Chains A and B, each alone.
Chain A
Amino acid sequence: MANSAMTVTGEFGLTDARSDEDLFLACREGDQMAFRVLVDRHLRMVRRLALNVLGDVQEAEDAAQEAFIAAWRARERWIPEARFSTWLHRIAVNKAIDRRRVRKAVPESQEVITRLADAEDRGAVQADALANLERSEVAVTLQQALGKLPDTQRQALTLFYFEELEVGRIADAMGCSEQAVRSLLKRGRQTLKTRLQRQKKICGYGPETVRSAPEGAGRGA
């Protein structure tokens, strides 16, 4: 086990002879001071790991905080079969990756929209191009509708559909429960559905109406 049978002084000068694992087991009894010693020992490394993934100090510190809080919350179900530090580092890497994906989620979804729009410009007179055109219009409408959703609903939907993250990972990334994520997804889908149906009625979207797309969009059909 790490740090066993020796006194370890950490980042902030906290000294404790117990191993990481013994300290974390003490946390099960609600010993926050024991956890503070663990933070003392491991914060710089956890922050560095997150920084290596994220490349941004502020985000790395947020990810480090999330990692320690996740560890604290998992203390009762932790099984000391691996070193505490190994387990904590894995949490930190996962938190940082989740944050990086959250950061990328919106730009990537916009990139999908742009690609579809570009395809539309390349040749809308052919049947497949017409399909692209329809898709691009739906995608643009979808993007607009997404943009009008509350931040949490938009983030949950984007991570679920564009990043294809599982609900559990989304919950970790957003700092809420899986039930909350499912609720956000459900409400977000309902709102989107209502808005897209309303938009369809106004614009007459559908395969038969693709040719009457808005003017000035550079389309050949």
Chain B
Amino acid sequence: MDLKLFEARLKALGAVLDRWPPEEAEAALDLLTTSEAAQDLFAQVTAQDMGVFDEPGGDLTPLADRIARNL
């Protein structure tokens, strides 16, 4: 998978890779492993989705505390 196809799939399917066809998800992961441009694009779409769908996600305080304890 190249960056152009990855971008097209991101627009069509969103950034939740479990919703992609398995083979394409694997190809996307391979690209994400090697391409910072793909990683940046993935982050952009994720951020857009969070804005659009108002990510709930619950209370992240315990996780933040856990991170602080492990520094």
Contact = CB atoms under 8 A, between A and B. Distances in A.
Interface of A: 11-12, 32, 35-36, 39-40, 43-45, 47-49, 51-53, 55, 61, 64-65, 68-69, 72, 86, 89-90, 93-94, 97, 100
B66 interface: yes
B3 interface: no
A65 B47 CA distance: 19
B42 A52 contact: yes
B63 A64 contact: yes
Contact of A36 (B17, B36, B49, B64): B64
A12 B29 contact: no
A65 B40 contact: no
B21 interface: no
A32 B47 CA distance: 26
Contact of A39 (B29, B46, B68): B68
B64 A93 contact: no
Contacts of A68: 67
Given A44-B60, A86-B40, A97-B29, 17 more contacts: A11-B60, A43-B64, A45-B47, A45-B50, A47-B63, A48-B46, A48-B55, A52-B42, A53-B29, A55-B17, A61-B63, A64-B67, A65-B66, A90-B40, A93-B32, A94-B33, A94-B39
A61 B70 CA distance: 14
B17 A52 contact: yes
Contacts of B60: 11-12, 43-44, 47
Given A40-B64, A52-B17, A93 B71 contact: no
Nearest to A85: B43
B40 A49 contact: no
Contact of B16 (A11, A35, A55, A90): A55
A90 B34 CA distance: 11
A89 B57 contact: no
Contact of B71 (A53, A69, A90): A69
B57 A48 contact: yes
Contact of A93 (B39, B63, B70): B39
A132 B46 CA distance: 45
Contact of A86 (B29, B43, B55, B66): B43
